[in-house]
Amino acid sequence: MPLPLFALFFAAFGIGTNEFVIAGLLPDVSTDLGVSIPDAGYLITLYALGIAVGGPLTSIAIGRLNRKLALLLLVGAFIAGQALCALAPNFATLAVIRVVLAFAHGAFFGVAAIVATSLVPPERHGSAVAILLAGITVANILGVPAGTAIGNAFGWRSTFWAVGLLVLLGWAGIWLFVPKTERAPDAPPPNLMREIRVLGRQAVYLSFALIVVAMIGQFSLFSYIAPLLITVTGVPEQAVPWLLLLFGLGSTAGVLLGGRLADWKLMPTLIGMLILSAFIYAVIGIVIHQPVAMGVAIFIWGGASFAFGAPAQTRILRWTTDAPNLASPLIPTAFNIGIALGATIGSVALDRGLGYAALPWIGVVVSLLSMLIALASWSLERRSPTPVLP
């Protein structure tokens, strides 16, 4: 892995750990700050909303900066934010700081995706995006369990200090290894209306649509995977983390494989992974009462559900090369909208008495719908293969 890409991967690893580790710290945070666990859970909801709304706005605000400088500023804000979180005197202060950090989070991944693809030739764009995404999956495998363990041993505030140190190492890597990226001499200066107009290209807005729909399937199930495994599959509670580790390992393998395949055949890879997702959701629905089979299915599910991300993002970046400053940070916005909708739809299904066993079938339906969106978009793309501003 080239050192600049490794620096971006490491920064993504630290920032991804910051996002997800709070879930393991909620009991300690709620006790220390005097709020209920459901109220403490708003730290997760507000963070997702901050990424979805604040990321694109922040990217527009810094759009005229050199991209290396923008990365250093965003990651530097993260380092300062971790210290402020560790020192937060009450829940409201912690929540506000987390929202501001989410603004930087969304903007970071938008800028980092542009920089990552600029570091490699066009035929390796998928792999570059996959390396960046791998930072998030590795955060779930290593960063979240380690951060939770630190918080359990030394208090939740110590986790924020540890994550701050981790992100500081990522900042140093960006400063040392990421080249200063200037725009091409013939590239137009950033223009808000141009940034908005590129979103009207069907390959762009339909790619955003299929990301949202696909994530609904993943998180209508994943949000409730622990109680499903315990109450339906009959897995002992202490075995659930090991099955989630299988999901994390599958996710990491899937995102890297998806990047490689996207470099080879982008749209066939995207469509193929959505078909595989629909298939594996059906398998989960069938073997839901069999623990061993569920373990295998969860590993494949993790791989398929993350493998589609690299080709989907690479496609958006390819079709917005002339004005990427708004489209790129909207990618994590699309993912987070899908996450929120998926968790909500799963909750509604459970409230209406459908039961945990119905959740995989939601994944089947929405994965097939995503596949149909991708097929329709690909058909339109082949009729007009050259990006043209509407």
pLDDT(347) > 60: yes
- CATH for 3-180, options being 3.40.50.720, 3.30.930.10, 1.20.140.10, 1.20.1250.20: 1.20.1250.20
| Greater pLDDT, 12 or 259 | 12
Distances (CA, A) of 390 to 43, 223, 374, 386: 39, 39, 20, 12
Torsion of CA 118, 120, 121, 123, to 10 degrees: -110
Contact 349, 57 (CB under 8 A): no
| pLDDT per residue as tens digits for the range 113-130 | 888 888 888 778 878 887
Distances (CA, A) of 108 to 9, 104, 293, 323: 12, 6, 38, 17
| pLDDT per residue as tens digits for the range 237-267 | 778 778 878 888 888 888 888 888 888 888 9
Q: What is the pTM of this model?
A: 0.76
| pLDDT per residue as tens digits for the range 194-227 | 778 888 889 899 999 999 999 999 888 887 887 8
Q: How many CA atoms lie within 13 A of 317 on its CB side?
A: 30
Q: How far apart are the first and last CA of the chain?
A: 38
| pLDDT per residue as tens digits for the range 80-105 | 999 999 999 999 999 999 999 999 99
Structure-token pair, residue 231:
């109450």
How is the chain split into domains, by residue range? Answer: 3-180, 196-383
Report the b/e string of 59-80 with b at 16+ CB within 10 A.
bbebbeeebbebbbbbbbbbbe
Contact 111, 70 (CB under 8 A): yes
Residue 276: CB atoms within 10 A of its CB come to 20
Domain 196-383 has CATH 3.40.50.300: no
Mean predicted lDDT score pLDDT of the chain: 85
Task: With cut-offs at 50, 70 and 90, classify the pLDDT of residue 142.
Answer: confident
Contact 344, 219 (CB under 8 A): no
Number of H helices, E strands in the chain: 18, 0
> Read out DSSP for 223-255?
TTHHHHIIIII---GGGHHHHHHHHHHHHHHHH
Ramachandran class of 234: left when φ > 0, alpha when ψ lies in -120 to 50, beta otherwise: left
Structure-token pair, residue 295:
């373990």
